[in-house]
């Protein structure tokens, strides 16, 4: 589609809102009005309008060494997260991950002239472009600052008279980048009756979680599936690149920062002939994405994520092959690696070399435990988040995931058998 008039783009925005409502991603009038009012094409100039207004399409806007580091998030995900945030007129909002500036503009429309929006990004060029887009769209009062989002918004800034001061606290804090932890600054800068929404990377898979403060910790009130470009800077997660010969390069997201296996050893395991261990558990793609994935990473401390090019058979296709990427979940240890795959008829299997049988059996066991527990999924997921220095003992049905600054206590409502308490 070529250039369009304002009338045409208003029609596209109305159609987008209708689609988001029909799909169940959009409910409130405030978020709907913002999506109808703010022209998304002003934030992604040069992109075809049909692509701009596709509800499920993110648009990568910056790459470094071929890897996307900034994007305009898919409208359906943005709608979900804005609903989770529940910003109100007059609220002070902090956004971490300025991107194109589009989400900040939506927030500014929602909070209105009596509210304020501050958006942060680690890259000067991204912030500069976001400011240009915000001015062009009629939102010059949104503060866009160059900051490492892990530090939140400092009390004072010398960028300009407009940006001379950030609020000490915010009614709402929202991340539009994936994070594996909750930084102390976000807790400190959130009002006692506020709300924090972030794509939390739970040792691999991401979930958009809305938290509210409660008795010196945070409690989840909403959990939704999502996928965001990860934070860079202090909260950047580890990634290991593995050269797998003529098949190309694999990307391995290890369990934690202590992962020290050389990439050559992983490549050696993946080149070996492998056997299959059947789990006896069948699942749909939605079961895997929205239920089993989080269960695996919470209950098995050595789980890693492995991604490869779509045609690379070294990695079983667990999540459904996209045009470019296929991926799986694996158990990795100094003496072997096992990967989870999908067999004909949707039975889950584990693939590993014969000398990695221990890892294979562990992975089979966790899959079977999930099935025995009633196959709990995101709709039952509950997360409590405590500062690491605070005594936080899990209940009998909670598993523990420790990160640098936060202890996460994770449970599933209605699971038939409580998961064994596990510190990761």
pTM of the model: 0.84
Q: Which residue has the tokens 């925005």?
A: 13
Classify residue 159 by its DSSP letter.
S
- Phi and psi at 122, nearest 5°, equal -80, -15
Instruction: Supply the pLDDT for residue 244.
Output: 59
Question: Which three-class secondary structure state does DSSP give residue 293?
Answer: helix
Report the C-alpha gap between 35 and 265 in whole angstroms: 49
Q: What gap in Å lies between CA 252 and CA 239, rounded to an integer?
A: 6
- Nearest 5°: CA angle at 118, between 196 and 216? 30
Active-site annotation holds for 73: yes
Q: What is the pLDDT of residue 89?
A: 98
Secondary element (H or E) of residue 103: helix 102-111
Q: What is the CATH number of domain 6-230?
A: 3.40.50.150
**Token output for 35:** 């999506």
Phi, psi of 384 (to 5 degrees): -110, 135
Which token pair is 287?
């079961």
Catalytic option among 73, 208, 222, 411: 73
The rounded distance, in Å, linking the Cα atoms of 298 and 203 is 8
Residue 323: how many CB atoms within 10 A of its CB? 5
Instruction: Please answer whether residues 38 and 102 qualify as being in contact, where contact means their C-beta atoms are separated by less than 8 angstroms.
Output: yes
The pLDDT of residue 266: 77
> What was the pLDDT predicted at 164?
46
Ranges of the chain with pLDDT below 50: 1-5, 66-69, 156-165, 418-424
Amino acid 249: pLDDT: 72
Choose among 168, 118, 174, 121: nearest CA to 142: 118
Please give the torsion angle defined by the CA atoms of residues 61, 62, 67 and 70, in that order, rounded to the nearest 10 degrees: -70
Local structure of residue 218 (DSSP, 8 states): E
Structural tokens at position 64: 């470094």
- The length of the chain in residues reads 424
Residues with Cβ within 8 Å of 91's Cβ and at least 6 positions away in sequence, in order, are 111, 115, 170, 171, 172
Q: How far apart are CA 318 and CA 259, in angstroms?
A: 23
C-alpha–C-alpha distance, residues 310 and 302, integer Å:
25
**What do you get for the CA distance between the two ends of the chain, in Å?**
50
Dihedral sign from CA coordinates of 163, 164, 170, 173: positive
Listed residue (290, 305, 295, 308) closest to 247, CA to CA: 308
What is d(CA 57, CA 54) in angstroms, rounded to the nearest whole number?
Answer: 6
The answer to whether the beta carbons of residues 408 and 385 sit under 8 Å apart is: yes
Round to whole Å and give the CA distance between 382 and 220.
Answer: 6
Q: How far apart are CA 76 and CA 25, in angstroms?
A: 6
Place of tokens 């989002």: 149
Token code pair at residue 349: 């299997």
- Which tokens go with 325? 């990427």
């Amino acid at each position: 589609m070529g250039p369009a008039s304002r009338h045409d783009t208003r029609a596209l925005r109305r159609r987008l809102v209708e689609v988001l409502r029909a799909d169940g991603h959009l409910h409130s009038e405030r978020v709907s009005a913002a999506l109808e009012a703010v022209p998304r094409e002003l934030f992604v100039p040069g992109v075809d309008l049909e692509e701009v207004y596709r509800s499920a399409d993110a648009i990568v806007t910056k790459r470094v060494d071929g890897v996307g580091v900034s994007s305009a998030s898919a409208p359906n995900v943005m709608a979900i997260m804005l609903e989770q945030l529940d910003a109100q007129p007059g609220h002070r909002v902090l956004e971490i991950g300025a991107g194109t500036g589009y989400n900040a503009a939506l927030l500014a429309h929602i909070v209105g002239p009596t509210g304020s929006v501050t958006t942060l990004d680690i890259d000067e060029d991204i912030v500069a472009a976001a400011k240009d887009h915000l001015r062009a769209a009629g939102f010059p009062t949104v503060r866009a600052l160059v900051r490492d989002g892990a530090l939140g918004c400092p009390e004072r800034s010398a960028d300009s008279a407009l940006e001379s001061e950030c609020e000490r606290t915010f009614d709402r804090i929202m991340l539009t980048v994936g994070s594996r932890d909750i930084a102390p600054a976000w807790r400190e800068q959130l009002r006692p009756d506020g709300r924090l929404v972030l794509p939390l990377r739970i040792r691999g898979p991401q979930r958009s979680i809305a938290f509210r403060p409660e008795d010196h910790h945070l409690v989840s009130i909403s959990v939704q599936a999502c996928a965001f470009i990860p934070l860079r800077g202090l909260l950047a997660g580890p990634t290991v690149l593995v050269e797998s010969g003529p098949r190309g390069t694999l990307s391995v997201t290890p369990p934690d920062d202590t992962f020290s296996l050389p990439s050559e050893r992983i490549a050696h395991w993946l080149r070996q002939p492998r056997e299959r261990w059947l789990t006896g558990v069948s699942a749909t793609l939605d079961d895997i994405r929205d239920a089993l994935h989080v269960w695996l990473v919470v209950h098995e401390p050595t789980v890693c994520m492995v991604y490869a090019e779509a045609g690379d058979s070294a990695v079983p296709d667990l999540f459904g092959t996209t045009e470019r990427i296929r991926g799986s979940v694996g158990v990795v240890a100094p003496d072997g690696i096992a990967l989870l795959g999908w067999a004909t008829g949707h039975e889950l299997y584990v693939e590993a070399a014969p000398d990695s049988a221990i890892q294979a059996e562990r992975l089979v066991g966790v899959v079977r435990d999930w099935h025995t527990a009633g196959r709990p999924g995101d709709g039952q997921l509950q997360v409590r988040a405590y500062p690491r220095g605070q005594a936080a003992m899990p209940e009998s049905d909670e598993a523990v995931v420790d990160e640098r600054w936060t202890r996460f206590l994770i449970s599933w409502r209605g699971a038939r058998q409580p998961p064994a308490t596990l510190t990761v």
